[in-house]
Amino acid sequence: MNIKSPQTLILEASQEIKTISAEEALELSNDNVCNLIDLREEGELHNSGSIENATHIPRGLLEFSLNENSPIIQNKIVDIDKEIVLFCAAGGRSALAAKTLKDMGFKKVSHIEGGFGAMQQRGFKIKK
């Protein structure tokens, strides 16, 4: 049996997706040309805070939350005409999620290298 490790899956996904820095994401956010999507679990947000102006969609609900019939899309909570910028704690889940959204047909998708940790260091506003 040849089971791939999470690191292998992330490496493979990284070859197919767009990875941006926290600085690039901050610029996109400040220019209001992207949707910041926080993939972390509720407990992670509770423990370390959340990014101002980010939409929280736990990784396990992403595919169900971002489809054309979902309330998040229908009510323009996420504007699919703007780039979807995903982040998690460190960048692993967001890399896999970016590949999934690409597989679903989304064109403008990226993820933030270093995730929430990098964003904290680069001037994103944190809500506790």
Burial group, residue 119, by CB count within 10 angstroms (0-12, 13-18, 19+):
buried
pTM: 0.94
Name all domains of the chain by residue range, CATH numbers in brackets. Answer: 6-127 (3.40.250.10)
Sequential pLDDT tens for the chain (128 residues): 789 999 999 999 999 999 999 999 999 999 999 999 999 999 999 999 999 999 999 999 999 999 989 999 999 999 999 999 999 999 999 999 999 999 999 999 999 999 999 999 999 999 98
**Which has the closest alpha carbon to 100: 91, 109, 90?**
109
The pLDDT score that the predictor gives to residue 28 is 97
**Which has the closest alpha carbon to 28: 108, 127, 100, 117?**
108
